Amino acid sequence: MNVHYPFFNDPLPLSVVRTLERDHISLQVLQTNPHWQAVQILLLPSPILNERGCLLPDALWKHFLQHEQPHVKLITLGLERKSGVNYLDAFELPTNLPAFFAAAQTAGADWQPVTTFGAPIEAEFQAFFLGHGKESILKVLSQLQYEVELIEFELQQTNEMLPSKENPIYQNIAQAIAYWKILNLRWYKYEWLFSYVPFYYLLQKVDNYLVQIRPFFENPTQNLQMFKTLQVSFILVEIISLLNKIGNYVFDQELSYSAY
């Protein structure tokens, strides 16, 4: 029997590893964007300890797996004496772990993870998307996209390598930089959360895209000729699409949060 677990900050506790070994259960670290068909049982330590505090990943992982990989049995490995579907008390593991895993429910079934101390990670992601009473990240992105489309249009209108100072392109560039800064501030403020979620690989893609187009926004006048080469406009469309996809995992009635 194979059990996967996501490696967050700490290895699994020794007592848990020993019990799994006793029962001839092999442990494997869950890769980022894994081959999900090979994953049958996923042991999720909860809460996650981060230097900022305790995070509860269970509901978000359940929600993701329910829709994307319903065959996976998601097991919470908790520290409190609680009982509930797919909950393993790390201090009092069952005498027959293989039987416990065999009887566990798949993520596709209708059940809710046991909640313990900590901040639900989906709430943190909601704040990432919506900000704290400020503009949503998708709104900032669409404003940025609008300015970038205007830059693209104005570049097509002029044959000059460097448009004259009067060209409205410079206003659009200034506005685009302002939105780019807001986007970056939000992104790096919440980056610490990203590796704790099952769609980390999507966030990594967004991050790579941001790195790709950064040279334009850091020095747009100098890099105006690179605008097309960097595919700024196309990449922004890709980023928006990825964040919309991620938003679907984060905002859902099942997670008790309203649509954005």
Question: Binding to another protein by residue 91, rule CB under 8 A?
Answer: yes
Identity of the residue, 151 or 182, whose beta carbon is nearer to another protein in the bound complex: 182
Q: Give, to the nearest 10 degrees, the angle between helix 232-250 and helix 200-218.
A: 150
Question: Binding to another protein by residue 13, rule CB under 8 A?
Answer: yes
Q: What is the Cα–Cα distance from 100 to 110, expressed in whole angstroms?
A: 18
Q: How many residues sit close enough to another protein to count as binding (CB under 8 A)?
A: 23
Q: What is the Cα–Cα distance from 89 to 95, expressed in whole angstroms?
A: 12
Who's near 79: CB < 8 A, 6+ residues apart? 47, 90, 91, 116
Give the residues across from 43 on adjacent strands.
75
Binding region for another protein (CB under 8 A) out of 14-22, 32-40, 168-176, 197-205 = 14-22
Binding region for another protein (CB under 8 A) out of 62-70, 88-96, 100-108, 205-213 = 88-96
Identity of the residue, 54 or 178, whose beta carbon is nearer to another protein in the bound complex: 54
* Binding residue (CB under 8 A) for another protein from 15, 96, 219, 256: 15
Distance, first Cα to last Cα, the chain: 41
CB of 45 to another protein, least distance (A): 9
- Angle (CA) 184-186-189 rounded to 5° is 105
Query: DSSP states of 19-72 as a string?
Result: HHHHTT-EEEEPPSS--GGG--EEEEESSEEETTEEEE-HHHHHHHHHHH-TT-
Report CA 84 to chain centroid distance, whole Å. Answer: 27
Identity of the residue, 42 or 93, whose beta carbon is nearer to another protein in the bound complex: 93
* Binding residue (CB under 8 A) for another protein from 44, 90, 107, 114: 90
Reading the block at residue 89, the tokens are: 């008390």
Binding region for another protein (CB under 8 A) out of 113-121, 133-141, 195-203, 249-257 = 113-121
Identity of the residue, 127 or 150, whose beta carbon is nearer to another protein in the bound complex: 127
Interacting positions 16-75 with another protein (CB under 8 A): 16, 47, 49-55
Binding mask 122-141 for another protein (x = CB under 8 A): --x-----------------
Question: Binding to another protein by residue 79, rule CB under 8 A?
Answer: yes
Question: Binding to another protein by residue 10, rule CB under 8 A?
Answer: yes
Give the residues across from 29 on adjacent strands.
5
CB of 250 to another protein, least distance (A): 16
Helix, strand, coil percentages for the chain (3-state, nearest 5): 50, 10, 35
Question: Binding to another protein by residue 117, rule CB under 8 A?
Answer: yes
Q: What is the Cα–Cα distance from 34 to 229, expressed in whole angstroms?
A: 32
Question: Binding to another protein by residue 94, rule CB under 8 A?
Answer: no
CB of 48 to another protein, least distance (A): 9
Interaction site with another protein (CB under 8 A): 10, 13-16, 47, 49-55, 79-81, 90-92, 117-119, 124
